[in-house]
Amino acid sequence: MTDERRRSPFSAFIGTEMEELREGYARLSLTLERRHTNPHGEMHGGVITTMMDSALGAALGALRGEAARRDPHATVEMNASFLSGARPGDRIVVEGRVIRLGKTIAFGEAEATRNGVTLIAKGRLTFAVRNRGE
Amino acid sequence: MSESVAAEHPSSPFVEAIGGRLEEWREGYVRMALTLEPHHTNPNGVMHGGVVTTLMDEALGGVIASVRGLETVSAAPHATVEMNASFLAGARPRRSDRRRGAGAATGPAGGLRGGGGAP
C-alpha cells in the first residue's frame, strides 16, 4: 500500500497519512492541530491544497507505475473550492481520483471531507506527464 | 524580512510551521518568502505544489486584511472560497533559492512561479 520511498517529504512534514493507494486513487488523512491554522484559528487553505496535490500526485504515480519513476509528472494547474472550514481536532480526509491519463497530460479531481461527513473542499488538478517512451 | 514587519501583522501558525516569512506589508500589497529545504519537496525532490499554494493563500489573505483593516478583520474574518493556481516552473532546495509569493488586492498574485507537485 504505502510506498514509503515515494512519500512526499512535505506531505509527511505537515503530518498527513496515506490511508489507501491504488491505481488512480489515493486517500490521505490528517488530524488538524493548531499548527495547521490561519490567524483566525481555522484550518489554513494551504493544508487542503497540499493534501489534494499529494493525493493526486500519488494516485497518478500508482496508475503510471514504473513510467512515473522514469518520467515524473508535475502539477500544472490546480483549482480548489473551499466549501466549509475546519478547526483543530477535526479529522480531514482527502480522496484523489485520476479521471483521465493521456500521453502528455492527466486530469484528476479531489474531495476533502471533515470528520467523515461534511464535504469541505473540491479540487480539479491537471498534470503534465513526460513521456519519453520506453 | 524584519522582525517588526512580521510582529505587527497577523500570521498563520501553518505558515510559520513551514517556514514562510512576511517580507512586506502595506495597504494593497503583501510579499511572503520561503527558503526551500528538503522537507518542502515532493518525492521527485522538487518543491511540493502545496508550498506555493500555501504562500499564495497567506499572501492574499494578508493583502485583503491590509485593505479591510485589522480591526474589521478580527470582527469579521474573511475566508478563501476559491483558488486557481498555475504552476509554470519548478524549484528545488538550494542555499540561494527562494520562493516568493506576492499579493496585490487589485489582481491575482504577481511575480509568482509555481512549482511542480507530484505527491
Write out pLDDT tens, residues A19-67: 999 999 999 999 999 999 999 999 999 999 999 999 999 999 999 999 9
Which of A37, A53, A126, A127 best tests the B interface by mutation, with the highest count of B CBs <10 A?
Answer: A53
Can you give the residue ranges of every domain in chain B? 3-106
Complex ipTM, two decimals? 0.90
Kindly list the structural domains of chain A, giving each domain's residue range(s) and its CATH number in brackets, ordered by start: 4-129 (3.10.129.10)
Q: How many CB atoms lie within 10 A of CB B17?
A: 18
DSSP A102-126: -SSEEEEEEEEEETTTEEEEEEEEE
pLDDT at site B95:
56
List of chain B residues whose C-beta atoms are within 8 Å of the C-beta of residue A73:
118
Pairing of strands A25-31, A17-22: antiparallel
* pLDDT tens readout for residues A58-114: 999 999 999 999 999 999 999 999 999 999 999 999 999 999 999 999 999 999 999
Residues from chain A that touch B49, judged by Cβ atoms under 8 A, are 49-50, 53, 75, 78
Question: Do A73 and B118 make contact, defined as CB atoms within 8 angstroms?
Answer: yes
Note down pLDDT in tens along chain B; length 119 residues.
455 676 678 889 999 999 999 999 999 999 999 999 999 999 989 999 999 999 999 999 999 999 999 999 999 999 999 999 999 999 999 854 456 666 655 433 333 334 334 44
Q: A8–B119: do the CB atoms touch at under 8 Å?
A: yes
Task: Specify whether the CB–CB gap between A82 and A38 falls below 8 A.
Answer: no
Residue A134, strand partner residues: none
Residues 6+ away with beta carbon under 8 Å from A11? A28, A50, A51, A54, B42, B48, B50, B119
Of B10, B18, B50, the CB nearest to A53: B50
Give the Cβ contact number of residue B74 at 10 Å: 12
> B3-106 maps to which CATH number?
3.10.129.10
Closest-CA residue in chain B for A80?
B83
Confidence at residue A7, expressed as pLDDT on a 0 to 100 scale: 81
Distance (Å) from the alpha carbon of B45 to chain A's nearest alpha carbon: 9
